[in-house]
Amino acid sequence: MLPPAAAHPRSPSHSYSHLLSLSIVLLLAALQLFVSPVANALLHEQVAFDNSDVCWWSLVPPDLVCPVLRQQNLTDIVNSLAGPPRWTGGDECVGRYCLYNSTRFAGGRGLAAITTAENIARLREVGDLLHEFEVSFNHDDDNLPFHVAEVEGKGNGVIAKQRLVRSDPVMAHTPVLLVHQGFKEEPDQAGQYRLLDLALRSLPEQTADLFMGQMAHNPDEHPVAARLTTNAFRLDLGGDNGQHYGAFPEVGKTNHDCRPNAAYYVDQSTLMHITTAVRPIEAGEEITITYLDPLAPHADRQERAQSHWGFACTCPHCSAFADEIAESDKRIKELKWIEGQLQDLANTSNDVSVGLITYLLKLYDDERLQCRIANAYILAALNFNVLGYDQRAAKYASLAIDALKIEKGEGSSYVETMEELKRDPKGHPTFKGRAKKGEK
């Protein structure tokens, strides 16, 4: 568990969102994506997958340059394709949850949302922000750092086409379907299925096909619901009632590993699911993320996999010899105990020492938990500072910042907390144990 973040004054939400979005644009640029102004909207393309590799589909009809195209002039066509997202719906509802959709969302990728009236206002803001930056996928798929191919025993998987190192971006996508977390609790199941069917039909055809191309582990379940159950990610639109499930079909090609070589987060300002390498990945190596809690013991992970997917996890970490699995569980138990000791910065116990902090970092390294190491770096930075080791504190604050950007994004409040510690460890309230109980 992360220590509570220090309270910091926030800039106005508009400026904050623009700051975050600019960082997302820079990340997309590293993925060989580009930002095109509205004038270049005719060049806009979106990414999609077939069953074997990455392909591209265009929003522009092939005969766009024809002098007469449905009696529309070029300006009308550009405006219809590149204008701000239009939202329709709100009249088909089950309980308090209604269907809304925008076929223009994310440059024509589209988004259907089963949500409440207060949440659709937030989605409008996100759509307008994406339109303002006009983030588009480069048409040259050769520049992508991966391709999708058959992986023995797994079906499709994401394979690195080049060597990647920690912090290298892998992919970034907006959701195509959002469903409010409370919607599944509605007693009208027939109404639920009807609204899910309408949501699918409201999407652009290519996007709907992309969604239905995902795996569904329960063939007896409603086809849209089954794909959500198998593939959806939790995301938060903000506010008191913003918890949703989001479908990101391309991400579903990325297979699970309890000790993955990539991590992801969903950026709240753009709703983009962003995947980043967490350790070196060689060309030809499969890129994996974790769909389970990597800090859970082996038995708990297996139980979760069985209940969610209908079969046990067979990743290399879970398929190890019994004694290796037992050692792993022991390390996880130890690191959780140590984190509990380091969590309380007012702890004056002799147990808190340089050796204990160093041992925690070793446990994370031995467990190959590079996908979830930000918390360890935060605790190391704070506790080294409490002990008076300002240079070590600054070092691990810097590592924590890098890890947080990979695991939670630049918008994480802990990034600002660690930047303050890195800038002036001796002036930080934790230096040499000056932290008071509850001040973390």
**In the block, residue with structure tokens 């879970």:** 318
Dump pLDDT digits (tens) for 42-76.
223 333 222 322 222 222 333 333 333 333 344 44
Q: What's the length of the chain?
A: 440
Question: What pLDDT, on the 0 to 100 scale, is given for residue 18?
Answer: 53
- The answer, yes or no, to whether residue 137 has pLDDT greater than 70, is no
- pLDDT top residue among 120 and 351: 120
pTM of the predicted protein model = 0.79
- The answer, yes or no, to whether residue 122 has pLDDT greater than 90, is yes
| CB distance 343 to 380 below 8 Å | no
* Order of strands, sheet of 262-266, starting from the edge strand that comes earlier in the sequence: 169-173, 273-277, 262-266
Dump pLDDT digits (tens) for 144-154.
899 999 998 88
- The answer, yes or no, to whether residue 119 has pLDDT greater than 70, is yes
Q: What is the mean pLDDT of the segment spanning 236-244?
A: 91
Question: What pLDDT, on the 0 to 100 scale, is given for residue 31?
Answer: 59
Return the number of other C-beta atoms located less than 10 Å from residue 78's C-beta.
Answer: 18
The CATH number of 31-289 is 2.170.270.10
Segment 251-255 long-range contacts (CB within 8 Å, at least 24 positions apart): 251/171, 251/173, 251/275, 251/289, 252/214, 252/215, 253/49, 253/148, 253/156, 253/157, 253/158, 254/157, 254/158, 254/171, 254/287, 254/288, 254/289, 255/151, 255/154, 255/157, 255/158, 255/286, 255/288
Question: What pLDDT, on the 0 to 100 scale, is given for residue 29?
Answer: 55
Percent of the chain with pLDDT over 90: 63
- The answer, yes or no, to whether residue 87 has pLDDT greater than 50, is yes
Q: What is the mean pLDDT of the segment spanning 17-37?
A: 52
| Domain residue spans of the chain | 31-289, 322-433
Banded model confidence at residue 308, pLDDT cuts 50, 70, 90: confident
Question: What pLDDT, on the 0 to 100 scale, is given for residue 345?
Answer: 87
- The answer, yes or no, to whether residue 194 has pLDDT greater than 90, is yes
Question: What pLDDT, on the 0 to 100 scale, is given for residue 437?
Answer: 42
Distances (CA, A) of 179 to 67, 185, 238, 293, 320: 42, 12, 15, 23, 37
Q: What is the mean pLDDT of the segment spanning 79-106?
A: 85
Query: Among 249-263, 297-311, 331-345, which stretch is predicted with the lowest mean pLDDT?
Result: 297-311
Query: Among 17-26, 38-47, 211-220, which stretch is predicted with the lowest mean pLDDT?
Result: 38-47
Question: What pLDDT, on the 0 to 100 scale, is given for residue 155?
Answer: 84
Banded model confidence at residue 134, pLDDT cuts 50, 70, 90: confident
58: CB partners within 8 A, 6+ apart: 44, 45, 139
What is the spatial distance between Cα 402 and Cα 383, in angstroms, rounded to a whole number? 18
- The answer, yes or no, to whether residue 142 has pLDDT greater than 80, is no
* Burial group, residue 142, by CB count within 10 angstroms (0-12, 13-18, 19+): exposed
Question: What pLDDT, on the 0 to 100 scale, is given for residue 41?
Answer: 31
What is the spatial distance between Cα 102 and Cα 119, in angstroms, rounded to a whole number? 14
Q: What is the mean pLDDT of the segment spanning 122-150?
A: 79
